[in-house]
A and B are shown apart, each in its own frame.
Chain A
Amino acid sequence: MQGKTGKFLKSTEFYLLMVIVGLSAILAVATENFFTLENLFDVLVSYSFLGIMAVGLLVVLISGGIDISFTATATVAQYVMATFIIRHGGGWGVAFLIPIAIGITLGSLNAVLVYNLRVHSIIITIATLNVFYGGLIFVTKGKWIYNFPDWFANGFSLFDFSEADGTLYSLSLPIIVLLAVLAITALLLNRTSVGRQIYAMGGNMDAARRMGFNLFRIHLFVYSYMGMLAGTASVVQAQLVQTVAPNAIVGRELDVVAAVVLGGASLAGGAGTLLGTVLGVTLIAVMQNGLTLMGVSSYWHKVVIGLVILVSVSITAYNRKLEERRHAQIDV
């Protein structure tokens, strides 16, 4: 049995890290701006929204389910929040509380449906995606929202510091929220009983039932957590782009699924790490950013991302095959 380092060297996370390092090295040489603090902060800020949702989806995938509806959840949450703070005012507390409450409610609805109907979660959440999103468009007629109050438009930040040339950097709202979400989820998955129950249920649902775990409560937790993070991400996104467009987020769900699966989470449940998810999102972010900086047409972005996912998933599958072959030969 090799040590922890040995295990890490063989993991999906390690491959991803190598790909990211390699890609970054190429981009650092090929483009002028990639390896600047300014660009890295930009990337971090603009992808934190995707990252937060990816973390939520990771938890659902580990539990053995999948959620496609979270982009619609985020859109609904965002719209209600924006309407409320524009009409009635409020502060950051309200700006986060409303979408989180909506996220938890819609997530619980998913959980109740998935658990009771015993239909695969992908079908249930495709259905609820349409219901949530269609309902919102019907009620709002698809109107965009712009005029946020100043406090919201300005956002907030911590630890401001400036470089010699006067550029200002800070830990702004998206970064703070992302870090908080990562910390809380790390604690949840690795240190709490409910987190380990989520892994256990994803690994073997029947065994979890026989063990006396309350599977309904685990479902409820998992889908609500996804909803909560979708709601949280929606605030970050609204603050970043300063508008709420009902069609801005819906459609991104497959990017998020791709990032999480790229990070080693299994669609069959039971497997996946937070580090992997962070790296999966990072890879997609670095790629898109690099292609933009190199002036490649945005249509090519999709092609390249698709190819990278294919290659990376193939490498993982090929390695697993080699590993299995090695195990199979010990017998005789």
Chain B
Amino acid sequence: MMTSDSFLELRNISKRFHGIQALKAVDFGLLPGEVHCIVGENGSGKSTLIKIISGVYTAEPGGEIVIDGVPQPSITPAGSMKLGIQVIYQDHSLFPNLSVAENIAIRHHIGPGHSLVNWKGLRNKAQKTMSKIGVSFDPDRLVENLSIADRQIVAICRAIATDAKLVIMDEPTASLTRQEVDALFAVVRDLQERKISTLFVSHRLSEVMEIAERVTVLRDGMKVGTYEAKEMDDQKLAYLMTGQEVCYPSLTDDSIDGKVVLQVENLSKKGNYRDISFVLHAGEILGITGLLGSGRTELALSLFGMNPADSGQIIVEGAPVKLKSNQDAISKGIGYLPDDRLTLGLVMDQPVSSNIILTILEELLDTWKLINEEKRRTFIARGIADLSIKVSDPEVPVNTLSGGNQQRVVLAKWLATKPKVLLLDSPTVGVDIAAKVEIYDIISRHASQGIGIILISDEVPEVFYSCHRILLMRKGRIVAEYLPRETSEKELSQKINAG
């Protein structure tokens, strides 16, 4: 598949860290102007490969890197930039306190080799770069006042302000709305016309597959293969990434009894969502889906008291409740697993044990109002066993665990409060496919014990396979209700992305 006119060719690339083989004899080729996607689970070697291309890591002897036809025995980060390779990290690496123009043209006017700033030249350079890909921002606007999507476009402008030949984007669509993704893809097509290659590294297969021409799959540090994107679909890719058929646990309705645990009536919040009404039964898993910005997360936050609604009613087990803070919500038996476990769900530096008991400290107190060590230990042991958290010692910090295990710790923390209603916002973000399936299993197991669960997600298979009922939100309203057995995954996906 490799041709002599490749922009980039990697041959036999291996990398080892402390005895762990991160990459093993990987070959990789990229054509000028090509849109290529690298997919793989966590730990498959995606980021190691990117870092070798961008010169952050050095490959082991025996590997070959050829860029623009010239063999490169060793690349440094600066050297890689000189060769036209630009990486846009997930955090964009922009300067929020500087203007759009300054961010875009920063390499031309600021930094080594420049003493005075030529503001006029800087603005011109920024304008020219923006017009190259058909975008126009106010050059004097501060980057901190831009949306995440616009920041990403500014980051792309900065990348191509130097003569970029390859732009690498790490998880570019992770926090964009559908429209913003479309705008990003339009920019990528522009790059393509200018013979600039784009390399995506992504978890979100369905979106990236829309634009990628070829896709390379990595698994356990080895290349599984490079495929034409046209011939791939989610299912096939998932199989290639994991080496196993993904099998969602089958869901039964047995657990649902007629008891309503949560009823929401005409709930509205200006600028967030409008006229939301639904019921949730004990033992039921209710999916709420919709695009980013459809109001799903705002609604969840309202049900957890952190974003109080303007009007409407929330009724828990038949009694109307006022939720003004998350303490209110917790005391009414509502738990919430946030979409961003790193900043909201876990105390990352603290041990697993402390994280699990965080929500129920009161219950562990003895008569002296001190924590009873005996109770603490049994409680933690039960949590770890119940959710099969893989951890050698409950005292290791949470940030040493894998994504899937971290998510289980958050789940354990909330299940400890014995909630009546559990809100799960994107519970499997950044979790491997195999670990996802286990999390779905835990969710359905607890639902069957009588908890009402609301699962918020924009991943279609997630809501399709693991919910009893699905509500679709669009522009702040619930626009439709589906039963998974009466629709198909494909149909649901079209409905979500329509409008």
Binding site for B on A (CB under 8 A): 1, 190-197, 199-200, 202-204, 206-208, 210-214, 270-271, 327-329, 331-332
Residues from chain A with Cβ under 8 Å of B112 in the complex: 212-214
Min CB–CB distance B222 → chain A (angstroms): 29
A328 to B94, Cβ gap below 8 A?
no
Q: Which A residue's beta carbon lies closest to that of B54?
A: A210
Residues from chain B with Cβ under 8 Å of A270 in the complex: 95-97
Q: What are 7 inter-chain pairs, A to B, with CB distance below 8 A?
A: A196-B98, A197-B111, A210-B93, A270-B95, A329-B270, A332-B293, A332-B476
20 additional contacts (CB under 8 A) given A191-B116, A207-B94, A271-B97: A192-B116, A193-B114, A196-B110, A196-B117, A199-B97, A199-B98, A203-B96, A204-B94, A204-B95, A206-B91, A210-B77, A211-B106, A211-B111, A212-B81, A213-B111, A328-B271, A329-B270, A331-B293, A332-B273, A332-B293
A331 to B116, Cβ gap below 8 A?
no
**Does B446 sit within 8 A of A, measured CB to CB?**
no
State in angstroms the CA–CA spacing of A210 and B55 once bound together: 12
- Say whether, besides A192-B117, A193-B116, A207-B93, A200 and B106 are in contact (CB < 8 Å): yes
- Per-residue CB contact flags for chain B residues 105-133 toward chain A (1 = under 8 Å, else 0) read 01101111011110000000000000000
Closest 7 pairs (CB-CB, A-B)? A329-B271, A207-B93, A270-B97, A203-B97, A203-B95, A193-B114, A332-B476
B77 to A193, Cβ gap below 8 A?
no
Min CB–CB distance B372 → chain A (angstroms): 37
A197 to B295, Cβ gap below 8 A?
no
Q: How many A-B residue pairs have CB under 8 A?
A: 78
B295 to A332, Cβ gap below 8 A?
yes
Q: Which B residue's beta carbon lies closest to that of A327?
A: B145
Q: Which of B442-475 contact A (CB under 8 A)?
A: 475
Min CB–CB distance A67 → chain B (angstroms): 20
The bracket for how many chain B residues form the interface is 20 to 34
A332 to B95, Cβ gap below 8 A?
no
**Does B138 sit within 8 A of A, measured CB to CB?**
yes
B107 to A211, Cβ gap below 8 A?
yes
**Does B495 sit within 8 A of A, measured CB to CB?**
no
Residues from chain B with Cβ under 8 Å of A332 in the complex: 271-273, 293, 295, 475-476
Min CB–CB distance B442 → chain A (angstroms): 32
Q: Which B residue's beta carbon lies closest to that of A196?
A: B110
- Per-residue CB contact flags for chain B residues 303-320 toward chain A (1 = under 8 Å, else 0) read 000000000000000000
State in angstroms the CA–CA spacing of A328 and B297 once bound together: 13
Residues from chain A with Cβ under 8 Å of B111 in the complex: 193, 197, 211-213
State in angstroms the CA–CA spacing of A327 and B146 once bound together: 10
A204 to B93, Cβ gap below 8 A?
yes
Residues from chain B with Cβ under 8 Å of A192 in the complex: 115-117
Min CB–CB distance A213 → chain B (angstroms): 6
For A202, A204, A208, A213, which residue has the most chain B Cβ atoms within 10 angstroms?
Answer: A204
State in angstroms the CA–CA spacing of A197 and B95 once bound together: 10
**Does B425 sit within 8 A of A, measured CB to CB?**
no
A200 to B116, Cβ gap below 8 A?
no
State in angstroms the CA–CA spacing of A196 and B103 once bound together: 11
Q: Which B residue's beta carbon lies closest to that of A210?
A: B93
State in angstroms the CA–CA spacing of A1 and B273 once bound together: 27
Pick the contact of A193 from B117, B145, B475 — CB < 8 Å? B117
